[in-house]
């Protein structure tokens, strides 16, 4: 199940609810989100009422794979598919920041070296590894992903978000997730659970950590509109972390 959120005025607004388990992509639970609201209120939820102060100047994209290991081929493939979609739509490489392990194409278990797919060839799949520019390969730390979002370059990761208050920003995170957040470098689902406090601080992007980062981005005027897509188990906890708003951020 998926909930689409809009972050307005320091608060999240639930726009729509989807479930892949229904015959239609829009779940009956949509009624529980909009039920009882007036027609005008439902329309406001569906299209949003927020109007940015600035016209759109550009679009920035951050794509990050949090997992590692051959068993997580699908995560890197999905990240590469996102990359190809944005390139096909004319977004230049210098506006796309790719942070993936970059191991699947060369893995000894790959029967098609140098190629990565998320749709089988017999079903019309194409090589997603073609002409890709990767900014950070081999994994990253929680602090590094925060630095990228906040536009703080380092020797290890010089390419970071350089957006402004007239930029739309799209962020895609994929990997394993748990009730405490998204661990970096997780190879199995269970790696997201049973973490010590030290592991939590060092290797997990927590809901609170995401909220504080978004609030700092807001304070720095780094986006006109900002959309986070989190494709992990327990991804909903990341949205719950935003419910407190920026008033309680560190």
- The β-bridge relationship of strands 204-205 and 136-137 is unpaired
Q: How far is the C-alpha of 216 from the C-alpha of 117, rounded, in Å? A: 36
Closest CA to 58 of 215, 214, 225: 225
For the beta carbon of residue 153, count every other beta carbon within 10 angstroms. 13
- Assign 246 to helix, strand or coil: helix
Between CA 159 and CA 148 the distance in angstroms is: 7
Please state the pTM of the whole predicted model.
0.81
How far apart, in whole angstroms, are the C-alpha atoms of residue 100 and residue 145?
A: 11
Supply the DSSP symbol for 72: G
131 close to 140: Cβ distance less than 8 angstroms: no
Q: What is the pLDDT along the chain (250 residues), one digit of tens a residue?
A: 566 777 677 777 777 665 444 333 333 334 444 444 445 554 554 545 678 889 999 999 999 999 999 999 999 999 999 999 999 999 999 999 999 999 999 999 999 999 999 998 888 899 999 999 999 998 899 999 999 999 999 999 999 999 999 999 999 999 999 999 999 999 999 999 988 888 888 899 999 999 999 999 999 999 999 999 999 999 989 988 888 788 766 6
SS (H, E, C) 202-232: HHEECHHHHHHHHHHHHHCCCCCEEEEEEEC
| Model pLDDT, residue 248 | 62
Question: Given this model, what pLDDT does residue 244 score?
Answer: 78
pLDDT, position 249: 65
Q: How far is CA 179 from the centre of its chain?
A: 17
73 membership: H or E segment, kind and range: helix 73-88
DSSP letter (8 states) at residue 137 = E
């Amino acid at each position: 199940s998926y909930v689409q959120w809009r972050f307005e005025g320091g608060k999240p607004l639930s726009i729509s609810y989807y479930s892949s388990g229904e015959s239609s992509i829009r779940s009956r639970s949509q009624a529980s989100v909009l039920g009882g609201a007036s027609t005008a209120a439902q329309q406001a939820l569906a299209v949003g009422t927020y109007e940015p102060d600035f016209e759109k100047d550009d679009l920035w994209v951050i794509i990050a794979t949090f997992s590692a290991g051959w068993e997580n081929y699908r995560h890197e493939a999905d990240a590469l598919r996102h990359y190809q979609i944005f390139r096909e739509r004319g977004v230049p490489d210098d506006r796309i920041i790719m942070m993936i392990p970059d191991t699947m194409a060369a893995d000894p278990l790959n029967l098609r070296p140098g190629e990565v797919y998320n749709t089988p060839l017999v079903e019309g799949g194409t090589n997603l590894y073609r002409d890709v520019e990767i900014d950070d390969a081999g994994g990253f730390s929680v602090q590094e992903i925060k630095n990228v979002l906040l536009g703080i370059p380092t020797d290890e990761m010089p390419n970071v978000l350089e957006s402004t208050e007239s930029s739309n920003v799209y962020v895609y995170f994929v990997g394993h997730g748990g009730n405490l957040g998204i661990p970096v470098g997780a190879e199995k689902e269970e790696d997201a659970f049973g973490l010590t406090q030290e592991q939590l601080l060092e290797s997990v992007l927590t809901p609170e950590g995401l909220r504080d980062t978004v609030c700092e981005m807001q304070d720095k005027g780094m986006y006109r509109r900002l959309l986070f897509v989190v494709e992990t188990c327990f991804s909903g906890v990341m949205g719950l972390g935003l419910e407190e708003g920026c008033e309680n951020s560190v």
